A and B are shown apart, each in its own frame.
Chain A
Amino acid sequence: AQTVTQSQPEMSVQEAETVTLSCTYDTSESDYYLFWYKQPPSRQMILVIRQEAYKQQNATENRFSVNFQKAAKSFSLKISDSQLGDAAMYFCAYRSRSGGGADGLTFGKGTHLIIQP
């Protein structure tokens, strides 16, 4: 079974600064997806960014980018120019591409991101 570990329960950053959230995972598969989801106080789970494991290029979405290190099984999220609206819980998630019963998301425990004005 796959596991996802987020070692930072809480992170704090000054507005406009850059912050990096860590995520490591364990799997024996070679083809999979990795995701970062944001959960603000409203409870809504919002997809921030996704990475396909077979792609070497790191995904980027505006101020959000990832550092995907497949051999190290590491998938960190970098948020540039932090904004107050970025304050939320951030979850790293894994999904197999093998299909069948392994098609749901495996989540890390989350990192609470605080933005200091």
Chain B
Amino acid sequence: DAGVIQSPRHEVTEMGQEVTLRCKPISGHNSLFWYRQTMMRGLELLIYFNNNVPIDDSGMPEDRFSAKMPNASFSTLKIQPSEPRDSAVYFCASRGGSGLRGTEAFFGQGTRLTVV
């Protein structure tokens, strides 16, 4: 398996523009997570899907952030409009399977977002 695939790896955008980050989870995994990493706040959970249904979005910072999972193999995180303070690395992770293996979250390589 190719692992969790995120695109793009890097994104530079101007303040006010819409940004869409994409994630393809590992096939067969039924849980998907979006995290944000900044120097100040570390790694924070933004939203969590189970079987394509959003379960907990309490970590989404503002209404400017939205996430969707239209099917088991694709998720998006959208920021509209973007602001400089949104600059961070955004990680997607997926988890699934049975037994001990099912306890592990596999992370993508992240998208580094810079809003200027």
Contact = CB atoms under 8 A, between A and B. Distances in A.
Task: Tell me if B's interface is mostly helix, strand, loop or mixed.
Answer: strand
A24 interface: no
B107 A44 contact: yes
A32 to B, nearest CB: 11
B42 A101 contact: no
Nearest to B57: A101
A92 B44 CA distance: 13
B48 A103 contact: yes
A106 B109 contact: no
A103 B91 contact: no
Interface residues on B, range: 20 to 34
A44 B89 CA distance: 11
A42 interface: yes
A108 B33 contact: no
Nearest to B48: A104
B56 A44 contact: no
Contact of B56 (A47, A104, A108): A104
A104 B45 contact: yes
A109 B107 contact: no
A107 interface: yes
Interface of B: 31, 33, 35, 42-45, 48, 50, 55-56, 58-59, 89, 91, 93, 100, 103-105, 107, 109-110, 112
Q: Which 4 pairs from chain A and chain B are nearest by CB?
A: A101-B56, A104-B45, A45-B107, A107-B43
13 contacts: A44-B109, A50-B100, A52-B103, A95-B103, A100-B55, A100-B56, A101-B56, A103-B31, A104-B45, A104-B59, A106-B45, A107-B43, A107-B44
